[in-house]
Amino acid sequence: MSTARGTVRTEPSHKRVRIFFGGQLIVDTDDALYVWEGPHYPQYYVPLDHVADGALDPSPTTKHSPSRGTASHFHVRANGTKALDAAWSYGDSPFPELRGRVRFEFDAMDAWFEEDEEIFVHPRDPSTRVQILPSSRRATVVVDGVVVAATDHPTLLFETGLRRRTYFSKLDVRMDLLTPTETSSRCPYKGTARYWTVNTPTGEHGDLAWSYPSPMRESEQIAGLVAFYDERVEVTVDGERQDRGETNSA
The tally of domains found in the chain comes to: 2
Report, as an integer, the average pLDDT of 46-73: 96
70, 113: one domain? yes
142, 228: one domain? yes
Cβ neighbourhood burial of 125 (10 Å; 0-12, 13-18, 19+) = middle
Whether the pLDDT of residue 245 is over 90: the answer is no
Q: What is the pLDDT of residue 250?
A: 78
Does residue 32 fall inside a structural domain?
A: yes
C-alpha to C-alpha distances, 172 to 132, 156, 205, nearest whole angstrom: 18, 15, 19
40, 69: one domain? yes
The residue among 119, 146, 176 that closes a domain is 119
Q: What is the pLDDT of residue 244?
A: 76
Q: What is the pLDDT of residue 2?
A: 54
Does residue 250 fall inside a structural domain?
A: no
CA distance 101 to 24: 20
CATH code for the domain in which residue 224 is found:
2.170.150.40
Report, as an integer, the average pLDDT of 107-114: 98
Report, as an integer, the average pLDDT of 30-41: 93
Does residue 25 fall inside a structural domain?
A: yes
Report, as an integer, the average pLDDT of 129-158: 97
78, 113: one domain? yes
58, 145: one domain? no
69, 137: one domain? no
Q: How confident is the model at residue 3 (pLDDT cuts 50, 70, 90)?
A: low
Q: How confident is the model at residue 40 (pLDDT cuts 50, 70, 90)?
A: confident
9, 65: one domain? yes
26, 99: one domain? yes
Does residue 218 fall inside a structural domain?
A: yes
The residue among 96, 119, 142 that closes a domain is 119
Does residue 247 fall inside a structural domain?
A: no
Q: How confident is the model at residue 235 (pLDDT cuts 50, 70, 90)?
A: very high
Does residue 179 fall inside a structural domain?
A: yes
- 123 touches 43 (CB < 8 A): yes
103, 148: one domain? no
Cβ neighbourhood burial of 118 (10 Å; 0-12, 13-18, 19+) = exposed
Q: What is the pLDDT of residue 243?
A: 79
Does residue 208 fall inside a structural domain?
A: yes
Give residue-wise pLDDT tens across range 185-219. 999 999 999 999 999 999 999 999 999 999 999 99
- What percent of the chain clears pLDDT 70, i.e. is strictly above it? 96
Does residue 232 fall inside a structural domain?
A: yes
Can you give the C-alpha Rg of the chain in angstroms? Answer: 22
155, 210: one domain? yes
- 76 touches 68 (CB < 8 A): no
Q: How confident is the model at residue 33 (pLDDT cuts 50, 70, 90)?
A: very high
How would you classify residue 150: left for phi > 0, otherwise alpha for psi between -120 and 50, otherwise beta?
beta
For residue 18, what are the domain limits? 3-119
Give me the chain's average pLDDT, please: 94
pTM: 0.82
